[in-house]
Chain A
Amino acid sequence: MTESTSGAATHKPLGSTERSDNWWLEPLSIAIGFGIFIIYATFRAFENNYYEVGNLLSPFYSPKLEFTWWHWSPAILILWIPAGFRATCYYYRKAYYRSYFVTPPACAVSGYKGFKYSGETKFPFVFQNIHRYMFYLATIVLAILWWDALMTLFKPGKMFHFGDFQFSVGSIVYFANVILLSGYSFGCHAFRHLIGGRLDCFSCGEQAKTCLTFWDRVSKLNEHHQLWAWLSLFSVGFADLYTTLVARGIWKDIVLFSAS
Chain B
Amino acid sequence: MHSGTTTSEAKVRNAKMKVYRGEGKDGSFKSYTVPVEAGMVVLDAIHYIQREIDPDLAVRWNCKAAKCGSCSAEVNGRPSLMCKTRMEGFAEDQEIEVQPLQTFPIIRDLVCDVSWNFEQNKRIKPFTPKPDADWTIYQEDIERVQEFRKCIECFLCQNVCHILRENDRKDAFVGPRFMIRVAGLEMHPLDSADRLEWLHEEGGVGMCNITKCCTEVCPEDIHITDNGIIPMKERIVDEYYDPVAKFLKRVFRR
Residues of A that sit less than 8 Å from B by CB: 1-2, 4-10, 12, 17-21, 90, 93-94, 97-98, 103-104, 107-108, 110-111, 113, 116-121, 125-126, 129-133, 189-190, 192-194, 197-204, 212, 222-223, 225
- Residues of B near A4 (CB, < 8 A) are 105
- A120 B208 Cβ-Cβ under 8 A: yes
- Say whether B79 faces chain A, with CB atoms less than 8 Å apart: yes
6 contacts between A and B (CB under 8 A): A7-B25, A7-B102, A9-B102, A18-B99, A203-B138, A222-B226
Complex formed: what's the CA distance from A4 to B105 in Å?
Answer: 8
- Residues of A near B210 (CB, < 8 A) are 90, 93-94, 97
A interface footprint on B127-169 (CB within 8 Å = 1, 0 otherwise):
0000000000010110000000000000000001011111111
- B171 A108 Cβ-Cβ under 8 A: no
Besides A6-B170, A90-B230, A110-B166, 7 other A-B contacts (C-beta < 8 A):
A5-B104, A8-B102, A90-B225, A97-B209, A97-B211, A117-B207, A200-B141
Number of interface residues of B (CB under 8 A): 68
Complex formed: what's the CA distance from A254 to B25 in Å?
Answer: 69
Q: Of B103, B141, B254, which one neighbours A7 at CB under 8 angstroms?
A: B103
Interface residues of B in 197-235 (CB under 8 A from A): 204, 206-213, 216-217, 225-226, 230-231, 233-235
- Residues of A near B102 (CB, < 8 A) are 7-9, 108
- B77 A10 Cβ-Cβ under 8 A: no
- What secondary structure prevails in chain B residues at the interface with A? mixed
Complex formed: what's the CA distance from A199 to B188 in Å?
Answer: 10
6 pairs of A and B residues whose beta carbons are closest in the complex: A18-B77, A19-B77, A119-B207, A193-B234, A107-B213, A8-B168
- Say whether B186 faces chain A, with CB atoms less than 8 Å apart: yes
Q: Nearest chain A CB to B140's CB is how many angstroms away?
A: 5
Stretch at the interface among B34-42, B49-57, B63-71, B236-244: B236-244
- What secondary structure prevails in chain A residues at the interface with B? loop
Q: Nearest chain B CB to A90's CB is how many angstroms away?
A: 6
Q: Nearest chain B CB to A83's CB is how many angstroms away?
A: 19
Q: Nearest chain A CB to B239's CB is how many angstroms away?
A: 11
Complex formed: what's the CA distance from A120 to B240 in Å?
Answer: 13
- Say whether B191 faces chain A, with CB atoms less than 8 Å apart: yes
Q: Nearest chain A CB to B21's CB is how many angstroms away?
A: 16
Q: Nearest chain B CB to A189's CB is how many angstroms away?
A: 5
- Residues of B near A116 (CB, < 8 A) are 167
Contact A129 to B237, CB < 8 A, known contacts A10-B168, A93-B210, A120-B208: yes
Contact A111 to B162, CB < 8 A, known contacts A7-B105, A94-B212, A197-B231: yes
Q: Of B165, B206, B231, B241, which one neighbours A193 at CB under 8 angstroms?
A: B231
Q: Nearest chain B CB to A140's CB is how many angstroms away?
A: 16
Complex formed: what's the CA distance from A18 to B170 in Å?
Answer: 23
- A1 B79 Cβ-Cβ under 8 A: no
- Say whether B14 faces chain A, with CB atoms less than 8 Å apart: no
Which of A107, A117, A189 has the largest number of chain B CB atoms within 10 A? Answer: A107
Q: Nearest chain A CB to B212's CB is how many angstroms away?
A: 5
- B170 A189 Cβ-Cβ under 8 A: no
Q: Nearest chain B CB to A55's CB is how many angstroms away?
A: 37
- Residues of A near B74 (CB, < 8 A) are 18, 108
Complex formed: what's the CA distance from A6 to B189 in Å?
Answer: 37
- B141 A201 Cβ-Cβ under 8 A: yes
- Residues of B near A90 (CB, < 8 A) are 210, 225-226, 230
- B168 A6 Cβ-Cβ under 8 A: yes
Please give me the residue from chain B that is nearest to A105 by CB atom.
B211
- Residues of A near B234 (CB, < 8 A) are 132, 189-190, 193-194, 197-198
Please give me the residue from chain B that is nearest to A4 by CB atom.
B105
- B141 A120 Cβ-Cβ under 8 A: no
- B211 A104 Cβ-Cβ under 8 A: yes
A interface footprint on B1-45 (CB within 8 Å = 1, 0 otherwise):
000000000000000000000000100000000000000000000
Q: Nearest chain B CB to A155's CB is how many angstroms away?
A: 42
- A198 B235 Cβ-Cβ under 8 A: yes
Complex formed: what's the CA distance from A119 to B235 in Å?
Answer: 17
Q: Nearest chain A CB to B126's CB is how many angstroms away?
A: 17
- B166 A1 Cβ-Cβ under 8 A: no
Q: Of A12, A199, A201, A225, which one neighbours B166 at CB under 8 angstroms?
A: A12
- Residues of A near B124 (CB, < 8 A) are none
